[in-house]
Amino acid sequence: MPPTPCELGFRMPAEWEPHRGTWLSWPHKEASWPGRFGPVPPIFARMVRHLAEHEEVHINVSGAEMEQDVRRLLADRRANGQRVHFHYHPTNDAWCRDHGPIFIQREVDHHREEAILDWDYNAWGGKYPPFDLDDVIPTRIGQEYGIPVFSPKMVLEGGSIDVNGRGTLLTTEACLLNPNRNPGLGRAEIESTLRDNLGVSHILWLGDGIAGDDTDGHVDDLTRFVNSSTVVTVVEEDPADENYEPLQENLERLSGMTDESGRPLRVVRLPMPRALHHEGQRLPASYANFYIANGVVLLPAYDPERDEQARLTLQSLFPDREVIAIDCTDLVWGLGAFHCVSQQWPALR
């Protein structure tokens, strides 16, 4: 058996560690935002403008025609085009957190090396075929840059895990133990694969996800590390809301959890926006779906009164970054927000 990434010294850095850049897959599948696709590319463009002030932005597009369309939109939004890079990697959809490359790093002779994990991808349990183009994105990026690629041979989406960069990983039973992902694997086998590939030693399991989440409970709509020993977790205050009980259960689980050194986690509460519906469908609007970049945190906004409470909470936790709230009521009609569409590329410091 070849050595695992963990045996070779690799680990997945935390999202707040320095970035080289951010990967996006430009939105083009109108069926993901039926009847409301029009506002979505401008939201992406605004996201790019803020990111490009602080780091590179790498965008997967289908080819030269899409690149030119996106360049015009970015110019209209005054994005820094010098930091935006286009890659002709066609995709099925825009959810780069889940189909994009997960970068891992190791220290060798006082310098860092990187590799890419290319997990199997089946569009959240086969819900939205086809997904063949998305499934090969990590390997295509590895080939383009000459970065080694490991294939763990397990279905996993980036939004289903969150790491503190020190050895602890957060995930949910609702997603990772769902038989529509890896029906032949039990909890022990899944944990072993996570340890072998992500360089983690301590795995924390939450329960169910939020209402409206078609990913079967991704942790990036629930609970996120903001430093190695602190998490923020969304809490619903209305007992009549369908999110109240599962979020209370997750809060109770977190109260008994520790980091990899056995220290209790510091747990900070984030509000939930008031219930958001479109055409009778509950949308998975959550303030936990923020994205941490160099110098900035992008916070999805849905509810003016509660948006500011969430922004101030995150600002207190990221004093060296500007927390920017951007309206995502149209973006979340596609059932995801900023974290779902982005994937960090850690810097080789």
Tens-digit pLDDT profile for residues 1-35: 899 999 999 999 999 999 999 999 999 999 999 99
Residues recognised as catalytic: 340
pLDDT at 44 over 90: yes
The amino acid sitting at 180 is N
What is the reported pLDDT for 209?
98
pLDDT band at 273 (very low <50, low <70, confident <90, very high): very high
Q: What is the CA radius of gyration of the chain?
A: 19
Segment 28-50 mean pLDDT? 98
Which backbone phi and psi does 316 adopt, to 5 degrees?
-65, -25
Mean of pLDDT over the chain: 97
Listed in sequence order, the residues at least 6 apart from 193 whose beta carbon sits closer than 8 Å to its beta carbon are 152, 154, 185
Using a cut of 0.85, tell me whether the model's pTM lies above it.
Answer: yes
Sheet containing strand 84-88, edge to edge, reads 84-88, 56-61, 19-25, 342-346
3-state secondary structure (DSSP) of residue 238? coil
Number of C-alpha atoms within 13 angstroms, CB side, residue 162? 32
pLDDT band at 123 (very low <50, low <70, confident <90, very high): very high
Helix (H) or strand (E) run with residue 308 in it: helix 304-317
3-state secondary structure (DSSP) of residue 39? coil
What is the reported pLDDT for 1?
85
What is the reported pLDDT for 198?
98
Which backbone phi and psi does 106 adopt, to 5 degrees?
-145, 160
Contact 114, 89 (CB under 8 A): no
User: Taking the domain 19-346, which CATH number applies?
Assistant: 3.75.10.10
